[in-house]
Homo-oligomer: A and B are copies of this chain.
């Protein structure tokens, strides 16, 4: 509990949330942004259900729910490009996760380091 205004930033940093407090959507899923914990590059966005989140936290390797294949998906199980979990963050309204990882290889099935390898628009500064 934050008693003093000066402590509030510190308190925010220290807050922890239980899995039960998460807001999964109508399909039982929550989006998970995956970020390289070393470079801070955003690698991909995928979806987790409660089971894949539990597996992620139990094994310290990312697991997702594949919406197209309708099955659990251990990232890197076939490619070898597993993602070691460094920390799992949750946003203010508890409906999005940010997973900071140490990736063993490229995140994208195309071989690109990040799935976000294309631009829609670049704004000239």
A9, A41, A85, A120: which has the most chain B beta carbons within 10 Å? A120
Identify the interface centre among A12, A86, A96, A119: most chain B CB within 10 Å of its CB.
A119
- Per a CB cutoff under 8 Å, which of B89, B111, B121 touches A119? B89
Q: Is A69 in contact with chain B by the CB < 8 A criterion? A: no
* Residues from chain B with Cβ under 8 Å of A125 in the complex: 86
Scan residues 103-123 of chain A and give those whose CB is less than 8 A from a CB of chain B. Answer: 108-112, 115-123
The residues in A between 28 and 58 inclusive whose CB is less than 8 angstroms from any CB of B are 31, 33, 35, 39-42, 44-45, 57
Residues of A within 8 A of B (CB): 8-9, 12-13, 15-19, 31, 33, 35, 39-42, 44-45, 57, 60, 85-93, 96-98, 108-112, 115-123, 125
